[in-house]
Chain A
């Protein structure tokens, strides 16, 4: 046995580095992981929760073919090539840029990789096995186990079966590659770690960006039988019966505006070396069991089945199945459910204890991700987190909450100093300026990018609010209250009073703004802002009452809300107006559904008779006009809106559209199930939002909820009607629902309270009122919904 540490001097390192930042999510020293006491069984993975492929990824196509792993902060795309395992590692905080508080000449924010910044790669890790060239192995298979969060590759070389597992452990805060074999084989090769910002290969490295962010990474390896040595800038191993490679790293980012988002005491290289050293001291089996227990705990008790697929469909690998689904046009209910489980996997892997996921989550293939891989506040970050509560991953939502809370001081400061810049076309013409708002893009340093986005504050708040509605968590409410209040203050200062033409009615409208991302730049009273602020004010009133705070301000907000103008239907187009104009001032099939935020994610527009019929008809007409053939997130949003309108066929068709295989950079689902957006002909980029928005739409078709009201199977398509179940699914109002159906009808629904006390439960016009104490549950049967 020979298990050298990455460098000879590693033993001299302090065992613990950096002050623990108690509540701050970051790459920090942490307490020893809790180890499970039960044995992990590797067998018996449910094939419905396994994605599998018969070919590895190309080094140059990892974004479409690499398999993602992540521990919520540290992520990687893995090639799974037998002879050349390549991992591109990303840390959620690996951001260039900074506060970016010098506006351009037009009063807007610079948007470059140096000023605003960009998410970038942390490192590249390669494990080379010269004798395991892909052309020389047989029976290649790789799989992603969505129940355990493990990537497994296996193949046969000269009669020996080789197997490797890759997983990203949150408890041990490292990524582990475990190589085993059966049949008397041996591993001989090298492990090479290198930075992607000019750092030379080394078993550990540390460096800093011009913005002062320090980062570092380290790798180590051990074998229970064989020779492992540090050989200059890399690790060499030979004659190893097995091999465990542990890689880790991170930055000294700290989510704290007061400290300029840095922890100066943290040495990332040193910490990375300590973490890989600590981890490799445990057996790979122990590391795996620890990871799986942690992953399962986060994954929780959620379940989703949409019916049975055919044996023919089950026999296909995931990519063949995606292609067959599109080619044959036959529903593949298990594949469609697996897409939801894959979205859950990405959420658990990408959003825990650090920054939230931006446009690509933790998965990059270069240092120049489209739109910086940033946080887009005019749909994309909201869509990323619509799914979390709906699929029982409320814990993963916290990264988004913590981000907003940590950014608020900077957002407030920038708004105070810069929003009323006379060059900013979106400034308040009232002459007043208060609270906070954001730009369309935000970074983790309090900075904005591109244009001001006045209503962005409301949409962020409304998204944070929905998490409260699902969980009724008072601590969450207390965390987000300052965000809500500041946003209300912003709008109190911004709203204009106007008299509606032809009437004497005075209303409040939003000042000059741009309905994302089309039409006039200086429209007053855009539907997007009116709807979002209307919802914001309503949410704030509930929050202030629940926390018994700011009664006077709440009264002011209530007064503002009553006077808010709400959009009407255009007599010209018959559509719900996007601008305060009967005319269509933009693209008919534009990707954004900004004027429909009141339909989804809001619920001011309801097709249940509680909203004027003309508004529902206008919203439906507008949604129809927007079309059925867009791309990723735009399809997902459309699907969610059709689900709200109880139009199962349209909602399902849009999901199927997103499941179409992406080839040659086209829109759709890539080999690795990442959603691809065709930026230009042949130029496809990964945008993770649809990987979350599409699963959100699936659940929204099965269960609609708002506080006090649940609707079962509102948009169940024929493809899933035969039988299915949605279990452990949170519902707004403080409940968790287990729903089963057969032949298109609910057979049993169990409503468990996590804080809610009363709700109606409806199915096709039949309705029951359920009263249940927190912690208790009630079961309804299908016959309860017979009218």
Chain B
């Protein structure tokens, strides 16, 4: 969820929270260690799969939230979705039922806390309490997820008088900063001061509470740097670390997912302390459907590449809910739904849908239950990233341990277009077998490339098994002395780059021309470009002073990581020049280019 759910609601009188605190403490005194052996698999060994409540909560789709915004979240609805998940999707690997924001708030967003300032089930939404819900989920053989915002919620502060559970002498006054500085993506909490000994106790008390209820998953939301915030006040790395410790001592394995739009500069922290991180803003549109293509499914193609290398067992790049199960409710075309599912699958994002599982249409069910696609997402292959610059027609690929390639074609344009994956851009030449994962078909053997017509916002997902030979390349370092630099362009050190150097400062007229690129034969060559770019940047690439093609190079995540993409360039026999021109904008730093020895 994001800011709207908090900022629209007035703060209520804090004293009511204390009065309403229920005797939940009695439940939590029994540590939840008993559940520890329930699942021997390590947490997040694979991207998790399941369902989340937020997409339907956040939508204005008719009938979903009859009692006001976000009111979909009720015990009855969670039960209904749990049953549907168990009946329809469990056998395909979906297992988490995740309760998102609002479980401790009524329909006017008034919160419930226990006498220790911990979130407590809103009795209207969850009359049986949160433990009963988790028990119900577990009874179906599924796992239960719950949600909390970062920091001490302002409404739980109670003038600093609320005691902290199991922490003698500690009150809410002892866990925040004296100036009551706020934090998280909505500024809805006071920032926790982890230099104070009471503070970890508060997190421990929350962890004990949800572990005691039997939850297997926690989404910690509004976490910064990220969630639209930066700076010390919004740096919640310590919160996440505290949660990591609290979970470790809670006696129950709990998957910790942090949200939203996490700062990639802190990727190491998220990897160290959590099992997954939302890389982007909410996928939901907060409109009459669950999502819409432009707001904001399509952002992910730009935002995922920088994170690719951070995904792996233990922690995954979370692209947010996968709302492809019901076309009318999702607000997407069939093509868009397939592309959405394709990107999530190849990026190794968790696969949790926010759809109404009781109303999946047949196409939606086929997308969510495609065994080959799920196997790709859950299997041991690495996540894919763009291998052609991120123009409207893109190819994403990953080389798999068995020598095959995962190849996805995307057409992000608003009209149908042909998209080609060239084998040369994968590094081999000759023939390859192509398997269509969505359609469960072997398409046959393709020479040099595969081209398919894709609908607007459409995609294809293939496994490509090479039968050809590895392509040989001739490398040209950007920093080579024979090249021509224009404008501000200059050679810079780069430890990750080949030769230890790159050409940077390609902005506002900065230009690099790689001279004397020799090929034996005229033709179109898939030229590999190794580059560094902390954000997505464009360059105009031209050959021999001819017309330029503009390419947007996906982010490499930071300014010290090298990635490679391929661009088709038409070269003449003999010596050529290849120019990267920043024009009126900012271009990536160039490490080197590799030109195939045959076209």
Interfacial residues, chain A to chain B (CB-CB below 8 A): 53-58, 60-61, 65, 81, 133-140, 155-156, 158-159, 310, 312, 317, 324, 326-329, 671
> How far does the alpha carbon of A156 sit from the alpha carbon of B450 in the complex, in Å?
14
Q: Is B523 an interface residue (CB 8 A)?
A: yes
* A53 pairs with B418, CB closer than 8 A: yes
* A55 pairs with B547, CB closer than 8 A: no
* B441 pairs with A158, CB closer than 8 A: yes
* A55 pairs with B453, CB closer than 8 A: yes
Q: Which residue of B lies closest to A313 (CB)?
A: B570
Contacts of B543 in A (CB 8 A): 328
Q: Is B416 an interface residue (CB 8 A)?
A: yes
Q: Name B334's contact: one of A133, A158, A317, A671 (CB within 8 Å).
A: A133
Q: Is B132 an interface residue (CB 8 A)?
A: no
Q: Is B524 an interface residue (CB 8 A)?
A: yes
Q: Is B474 an interface residue (CB 8 A)?
A: no
Contacts of A155 in B (CB 8 A): 453
Q: Name A55's contact: one of B335, B414, B418, B524 (CB within 8 Å).
A: B418
Q: Name B570's contact: one of A60, A138, A312 (CB within 8 Å).
A: A312
Q: Is B443 an interface residue (CB 8 A)?
A: yes
From residue A671, how far is it (CB to closest CB) to chain B in Å? 8
* B453 pairs with A140, CB closer than 8 A: yes
27 A–B pairs (Cβ distance < 8 Å), ordered by A: A54-B451, A54-B452, A55-B418, A56-B416, A58-B414, A61-B414, A61-B415, A65-B415, A65-B416, A133-B334, A135-B334, A135-B338, A135-B455, A135-B458, A135-B460, A136-B439, A137-B453, A138-B436, A139-B452, A140-B418, A140-B452, A310-B522, A312-B523, A312-B524, A328-B543, A328-B570, A329-B546
Q: Is B293 an interface residue (CB 8 A)?
A: no
* B418 pairs with A54, CB closer than 8 A: yes
Contacts of A53 in B (CB 8 A): 418
Contacts of B455 in A (CB 8 A): 58, 81, 134-135
* B416 pairs with A58, CB closer than 8 A: yes
User: Using a Cβ–Cβ cut-off of 8 Å, how many residues does chain B contribute to the interface with A?
Assistant: 31
Q: Is B292 an interface residue (CB 8 A)?
A: no
Contacts of B335 in A (CB 8 A): 134-135
Contacts of B416 in A (CB 8 A): 55-58, 65, 81, 134
Contacts of A65 in B (CB 8 A): 415-416
Q: Which residue of A lies closest to B523 (CB)?
A: A312
* B522 pairs with A312, CB closer than 8 A: yes
Give 8 A-B pairs besides A135-B334, A136-B438, A327-B546 with Cβ atoms closer than 8 angstroms.
Answer: A58-B415, A60-B415, A134-B458, A135-B335, A135-B455, A139-B452, A140-B453, A312-B523
Contacts of A158 in B (CB 8 A): 439, 441
Which residues 539-592 in B have Cβ within 8 Å of A in the complex? Answer: 543, 546-549, 570
> How far does the alpha carbon of A671 sit from the alpha carbon of B415 in the complex, in Å?
11
Q: Is B58 an interface residue (CB 8 A)?
A: no
Known: A134-B454, A312-B524. A159 touches B441 (CB 8 A): yes
* A54 pairs with B453, CB closer than 8 A: yes
> How far does the alpha carbon of A229 sit from the alpha carbon of B364 in the complex, in Å?
30
Contacts of A139 in B (CB 8 A): 443, 452
Q: Is B480 an interface residue (CB 8 A)?
A: no
From residue B293, how far is it (CB to closest CB) to chain A in Å? 14
Q: Is B456 an interface residue (CB 8 A)?
A: yes
Nearest first, the 7 closest Cβ-Cβ pairs linking A and B are: A54-B418, A140-B453, A58-B415, A327-B547, A55-B453, A55-B416, A134-B455
Q: Is B459 an interface residue (CB 8 A)?
A: yes
> How far does the alpha carbon of A65 sit from the alpha carbon of B455 in the complex, in Å?
13
From residue B393, how far is it (CB to closest CB) to chain A in Å? 10
Contacts of A324 in B (CB 8 A): 570
Q: Is B417 an interface residue (CB 8 A)?
A: yes
Contacts of A134 in B (CB 8 A): 335, 416, 453-455, 458
Which residues 428-461 in B have Cβ within 8 Å of A in the complex? Answer: 436, 438-439, 441, 443, 451-456, 458-460
Contacts of A135 in B (CB 8 A): 334-335, 338, 438, 454-455, 458-460
Contacts of B523 in A (CB 8 A): 312
From residue A632, how far is it (CB to closest CB) to chain B in Å? 21
Interfacial residues, chain B to chain A (CB-CB below 8 A): 334-335, 338, 414-418, 436, 438-439, 441, 443, 451-456, 458-460, 522-524, 543, 546-549, 570
Q: Which residue of A lies closest to B441 (CB)?
A: A158
> How far does the alpha carbon of A576 sit from the alpha carbon of B470 in the complex, in Å?
66
From residue A189, how far is it (CB to closest CB) to chain B in Å? 16
> How far does the alpha carbon of A317 sit from the alpha carbon of B453 in the complex, in Å?
12
> How far does the alpha carbon of A326 sit from the alpha carbon of B570 in the complex, in Å?
13
Q: Which residue of B lies closest to A65 (CB)?
A: B415
* A328 pairs with B546, CB closer than 8 A: yes
* B546 pairs with A56, CB closer than 8 A: no
> How far does the alpha carbon of A138 sit from the alpha carbon of B451 in the complex, in Å?
8
Known: A140-B453, A327-B549. A57 touches B415 (CB 8 A): yes
From residue B451, how far is it (CB to closest CB) to chain A in Å? 6
Q: Which residue of A lies closest to B393 (CB)?
A: A55
Contacts of B456 in A (CB 8 A): 58
Contacts of A137 in B (CB 8 A): 453
Known: A312-B523, A328-B570. A56 touches B453 (CB 8 A): yes
From residue A308, how far is it (CB to closest CB) to chain B in Å? 15
> How far does the alpha carbon of A310 sit from the alpha carbon of B416 in the complex, in Å?
27
Known: A328-B547, A329-B547. A55 touches B459 (CB 8 A): no
From residue B385, how far is it (CB to closest CB) to chain A in Å? 22
Identify which of A57, A135, A156 gathers the most chain B CB atoms within 10 Å of its CB.
A135
> How far does the alpha carbon of A520 sit from the alpha carbon of B596 in the complex, in Å?
62
Q: Name A138's contact: one of B414, B443, B546, B547 (CB within 8 Å).
A: B443
> How far does the alpha carbon of A54 sit from the alpha carbon of B450 in the complex, in Å?
12
> How far does the alpha carbon of A81 sit from the alpha carbon of B458 in the complex, in Å?
13
> How far does the alpha carbon of A65 sit from the alpha carbon of B459 in the complex, in Å?
20
From residue B373, how far is it (CB to closest CB) to chain A in Å? 13
From residue A746, how far is it (CB to closest CB) to chain B in Å? 31
> How far does the alpha carbon of A136 sit from the alpha carbon of B458 in the complex, in Å?
10
From residue A142, how far is it (CB to closest CB) to chain B in Å? 9
Identify which of B436, B455, B543, B570 gathers the most chain A CB atoms within 10 Å of its CB.
B455
Contacts of A328 in B (CB 8 A): 543, 546-547, 570
> How far does the alpha carbon of A61 sit from the alpha carbon of B438 in the complex, in Å?
27
Contacts of A55 in B (CB 8 A): 415-418, 453-454
From residue B589, how far is it (CB to closest CB) to chain A in Å? 25
> How far does the alpha carbon of A58 sit from the alpha carbon of B454 in the complex, in Å?
11
Q: Which residue of B lies closest to A159 (CB)?
A: B441
From residue B88, how far is it (CB to closest CB) to chain A in Å? 22
> How far does the alpha carbon of A327 sit from the alpha carbon of B414 in the complex, in Å?
22
Contacts of B334 in A (CB 8 A): 133, 135
Q: Which residue of A lies closest to B548 (CB)?
A: A327
Contacts of B436 in A (CB 8 A): 138
From residue A83, how far is it (CB to closest CB) to chain B in Å? 9
> How far does the alpha carbon of A328 sit from the alpha carbon of B541 in the complex, in Å?
12
Contacts of B452 in A (CB 8 A): 54, 138-140
Contacts of A312 in B (CB 8 A): 522-524, 570
> How far does the alpha carbon of A209 sit from the alpha carbon of B290 in the complex, in Å?
43
Contacts of A329 in B (CB 8 A): 546-547
Contacts of A136 in B (CB 8 A): 438-439
Contacts of A671 in B (CB 8 A): 415
> How far does the alpha carbon of A136 sit from the alpha carbon of B367 in the complex, in Å?
13
> How far does the alpha carbon of A143 sit from the alpha carbon of B415 in the complex, in Å?
18
> How far does the alpha carbon of A155 sit from the alpha carbon of B441 in the complex, in Å?
14
> How far does the alpha carbon of A317 sit from the alpha carbon of B451 in the complex, in Å?
11
Contacts of B524 in A (CB 8 A): 312
> How far does the alpha carbon of A326 sit from the alpha carbon of B443 in the complex, in Å?
34
> How far does the alpha carbon of A136 sit from the alpha carbon of B546 in the complex, in Å?
38
> How far does the alpha carbon of A57 sit from the alpha carbon of B414 in the complex, in Å?
11
> How far does the alpha carbon of A58 sit from the alpha carbon of B549 in the complex, in Å?
24
> How far does the alpha carbon of A244 sit from the alpha carbon of B211 in the complex, in Å?
66
> How far does the alpha carbon of A158 sit from the alpha carbon of B440 in the complex, in Å?
9
Contacts of A81 in B (CB 8 A): 416, 455
From residue A320, how far is it (CB to closest CB) to chain B in Å? 8
Identify which of A55, A326, A327 gathers the most chain B CB atoms within 10 Å of its CB.
A55
> How far does the alpha carbon of A3 sit from the alpha carbon of B378 in the complex, in Å?
51
Contacts of A61 in B (CB 8 A): 414-415
